[in-house]
Structure 1
Amino acid sequence: MASSSFDLIFLVVMLLSPFMAVAQTNGSVPVGASITATDDSPSWLSASGEFAFGFHQMENKDYFLLSIWYEKIPEKTVVWYAMGEDPTDDPAVSRGSKVELTADSGLVLTDPQGNRIWSSGGFLGTVSSGVMNDTGNFVLQDTNSDRLWESFTHPTDTLLPAQIMEAGGIVSSRRTETNFSLGRFQLRFLDDGNLVLNSMNLPTKVAYEAYYTSGTYDASNSSNSGYQLIFNESGYMYILRRNGLREDLTKTALPTTHFYHRATLNFDGVFTQYSYPKTFSSNRSWSPVWSEPENICKYNPILGSGACGYNSICSLSVDRRPNCNCPQEFSLLDQNDKHGSCIPNSEISCKDNGQNSSEELYDFVELRYVDYPSGDAERLQPQNDEQCRKACLNDCLCGAVIFLGKDCWKKKLPLSNGKLDSGFNGKTFIKFKKGYLPPGNPGLQIRRREGTSSSSQE
């Protein structure tokens, strides 16, 4: 009996071994293959082993992201991930979830109870196999090797060399560096031929005005307009015009034979092409090749909060990435989202003992070199700074004022498009309730209504 059992097991292994070998030598994955999310989950590798498809373990070790990543670098950088039916939900799944390659629905992701979370369905035909290509593109194909579905035509936040975006294509940022749910920013290739970056409303996905435009739309001659966004195998990204001319986005690229490349719409709205050395060295990391826009803090949309969340203040770092900070007397709405909105620590109300916004109840914090250029409620002129503050103090609906020249701009909360600007010559005053004195922050100054400075920093 033992011998018969051994023979049966040996036969099963021999029958399965060709599929196992194919998966490891040319990236092919047979229908029926599956992976379960565990600490030591296997992955489906491309032929060279450069890319892997499977469950990427999150910081919370009990959760996993169905994704594609660079396998040969320590960071295991994710370049694609499966989004559920509601992309604003966190796509991370719990331990014990499973992905299976099926003939009718392609890739099917289920939770530990067997409930379907996501699938790559929506194609016509029957899947015969999947292929994890060395380009990072996971492809489902039929018996004729015709492509039924591929990850390259369903990008998330990253484009890779050999990937092409057609008109109507969208790349979306994630929520934060570690939260892969849908973020606030989009890269879109419009039907008119322009490549644009814009923020959007969540969860409606209504696009706000662009903060970067490629300028590849020609209303007078459509042949001059953009046709495709191409990231070629040499690591160069460009917009191909209908007349065959190129609008280069990558000016200089390191050779793909020695460097990995990716172009990612970061969670903070900056679109960046990165390179990473393939050879082992002590300083291996992703380095920016180029990025857009030049200064996202200058983004002043009519709708939305701007580069940072509401009430927040945007400042630019040396790598063109924004830093977002709450002003004094405000705190993050979500402590895990440093680029999100800020909320007041004290309430401004019209119902305070009948003393609506009086001097007995409120005072001001002065923010140095900080401008909130949008969302004006009223403009008063001519005014001096004392009159400007008093106008807000006696208005129970006023949350802040900006005094510039002889103009006084009254603001209602929440404030939008906040930015740190060393060239801004105005004064920004935010009203707060007495009895709570916010701590001093670098670059900000608290100035009492009477004109005496309680703290200052240059």
Structure 2
Amino acid sequence: MPNHIGARKLAMAFTVRLLLFSSLFLLSVSVFAQTNGSIAVGDFLTATAANSSPWLSPSGDFAFGFLPLGSNDLFLLSIWYAKIPDRTIVWYANRDNEAAVAPKGSTVNLTANSGLVLNSPQGEELWKSGTSVGVVANGVMNDTGNFVLQDRNSESLWETFNNPTDTMLPGQTLERSGKLSSRQSETNYSKGRFQLLLQEDGNLVLSTINLPTNFANSPYYATDTTSGTVAGSEGKELVFNVSGYLYVLRENGGKYNLAVGEVVSARDNYIRATLNFDGIFAQYYHPKNFTGNVSWTILWSEPDNICQRITESSGVGVCGYNSICTLKGDKRPTCGCPRGFSLLDPNDPYRGCKPDFIQGCKEDELSGTKDLYDVEVLTNTDWPISDYVQLKPFTAEKCNESCFQDCLCAVAIFRSETCWKKKLPLSNGRVDVSLNSQAFIKVRKDNSTLPIRAPQLPCPDEL
């Protein structure tokens, strides 16, 4: 009998241990299933603040899902760094140059035939990834930041690395005709005015775009990796390798490094290369382990001075018409209006400026007075290609007076005994301390307004 009781106790203890082990095993499998980055066909996410759990990569470094845009119940389907406070976005859904902004209650579904499909609460299709061939078996949110749709053989059918927006990550490449497009502003994710493109000739260029078309102006930065005296010297692809080096790989295997200098550890830092909304292409790093308030640090950027590098005959420059571009200490441009002008869009200083007065020969004539304008003098400021006449040799006083008396003239620039008279709209405005110039800007006086013309009465003969 005692042996029988002992056997029962031993069996019960074994059973308890087995149940405990099984529970732990199932728990670990469950946790793994939630964090291995794999998403099954039929899974979906809903754009709500209360239920915004994203699909995470295995390490939890990257997240795919909905991020709120401000406080207006709009969301952006995107991929972001999940472990840093500002949740920096590295990819976002867009269609026809517009960000796929989703209202609250929208869903993204992983489907077998159409890949990722984003629908509004009313069922309207807002965006879909699509697949060229094959049937989707599952999706994977990788630790590289790449979201991949796979078939049953784990072959890639579609991936975000092949459909980039404004950012590249280590492990990502751009083939010929591949490009990054800037967003319109820091908070507007629709297509902006700047583009990074690996051309068919192998040249990597930064250009402005004349929206809403895709017409590209002359590059303001180029690697010149085209065919030359050495066979195979043209660029084949832009490579951002896993160590954090960014270079153009040539056909002959040679490399053109976009930056020469130290490269931070990709093991200890998050690294990205982003075409910013203001046209600056820059590489950044952020420590993975940090305490306190830590932000992204710039490693390098191109171009050195975008205000001076962009001069467009068919575009508006960095800051839009009638604006002035000034370079900040971090090599990022800032835009402002001269006195007598105000922003076209108070919420977007990069869209240009408009005059706060009406200027023109007919308007000046109707005013009935000759004392219409003051002159604002700015140093080392220019709008290089807006002139319609050049006067030489001339003095600063004569240059000022000539513009003041000319009803077509809005601004006159004097430099090196030469006067350039310019009319509106002014383009490619910038500050350049090397100019040693003066700008004379005509500004309508506050008390000078156009008279209100009385309506013309019909002649008695016409009655």
Using the size of structure 1 for normalisation, the TM-score is 0.87
Deviation at 1:321, TM superposition (A): 0.8
Cα 1:23/1:318, change in 2 over 3 Å: farther
Which residue of structure 1 lines up, in the alignment, with residue 385 of structure 2?
Answer: 374
Which residue of structure 1 lines up, in the alignment, with residue 413 of structure 2?
Answer: 402
- Letter aligned with residue 215 of structure 1: D
Which residue of structure 2 lines up, in the alignment, with residue 38 of structure 1?
Answer: 48
Q: Does 1:226 align with 2:225?
A: no
In the alignment, which of 404, 423, 438 is matched to residue 393 of structure 1?
404
In the alignment, which of 104, 117, 124 is matched to residue 115 of structure 1?
124
In the alignment, which of 270, 274, 278 is matched to residue 268 of structure 1?
278
Deviation at 1:193, TM superposition (A): 1.4
CA distance in 1, matches of 2:359, 2:446: 13
In the alignment, which of 157, 168, 171 is matched to residue 180 of structure 2?
171
Secondary structure at 2:377 match in 1: strand
Q: Does 1:106 align with 2:106?
A: no
CA offsets, 1:297-339, max 9 Å, x none?
A: 1121222121222111111112111111111111111111122
Q: State the number of aligned residues.
A: 419
Gap runs ≥5 in structure 2? 1-26, 449-463
CA distance in 2, matches of 1:357, 1:132: 70
- Letter aligned with residue 29 of structure 1: I
Secondary structure at 1:223 match in 2: coil
Contact 1:27 1:45 in 2 (8 A): yes
Q: RMSD over aligned Cα, in angstroms?
A: 2.1
In the alignment, which of 189, 212, 215 is matched to residue 203 of structure 1?
212
Which residue of structure 2 lines up, in the alignment, with residue 93 of structure 1?
Answer: 102
Q: Does 1:248 align with 2:265?
A: no
Cα 1:404/1:436, change in 2 over 3 Å: farther
- Sequence identity percentage: 51
- Letter aligned with residue 378 of structure 2: L
In the alignment, which of 433, 436, 440 is matched to residue 422 of structure 1?
433
Cα 1:407/1:27, change in 2 over 3 Å: same
CA distance in 2, matches of 1:282, 1:160: 25
CA distance in 2, matches of 1:358, 1:218: 63
Q: After the TM superposition, which of the residue ranges 390-399 and 37-46 deviates more from structure 2?
A: 390-399
CA distance in 1, matches of 2:368, 2:412: 14
Q: Does 1:75 align with 2:86?
A: yes
Cα 1:436/1:94, change in 2 over 3 Å: farther
Q: Does 1:52 align with 2:68?
A: no
Which residue of structure 1 lines up, in the alignment, with residue 294 of structure 2?
Answer: 284
Contact 2:93 2:99 in 1 (8 A): no
CA distance in 2, matches of 1:145, 1:54: 22
Secondary structure at 1:207 match in 2: coil
Which has the greater radius of gyration?
Answer: 2
CA offsets, 1:359-385, max 9 Å, x none?
A: 422232112221111122111233323
Alignment of 1:275-424 (within 5 A): 275-298=285-308, 299-352=310-363, 354=365, 359-424=370-435
Which residue of structure 1 lines up, in the alignment, with residue 442 of structure 2?
Answer: 431
Which residue of structure 2 lines up, in the alignment, with residue 182 of structure 1?
Answer: 191
Deviation at 1:396, TM superposition (A): 2.5
- Letter aligned with residue 373 of structure 1: P
Please identify which structure carries the higher helix content: 2
Contact 1:23 1:45 in 2 (8 A): no
Which residue of structure 2 lines up, in the alignment, with residue 444 of structure 1?
Answer: none
Contact 1:356 1:396 in 2 (8 A): no
Task: Write out the 4+ residue segments of structure 1 that deviate beyond 4 Å after TM superposition.
Answer: 17-23, 355-358
Deviation at 1:178, TM superposition (A): 1.0
Contact 1:66 1:81 in 2 (8 A): yes
Q: Does 1:236 align with 2:245?
A: yes
Which residue of structure 2 lines up, in the alignment, with residue 10 of structure 1?
Answer: none
Which residue of structure 2 lines up, in the alignment, with residue 14 of structure 1?
Answer: none
In the alignment, which of 153, 157, 162 is matched to residue 162 of structure 2?
153
- Letter aligned with residue 419 of structure 2: C
Q: After the TM superposition, which of the residue ranges 286-295 and 121-130 deviates more from structure 2?
A: 121-130
Cα 1:337/1:247, change in 2 over 3 Å: same
Which residue of structure 2 lines up, in the alignment, with residue 143 of structure 1?
Answer: 152
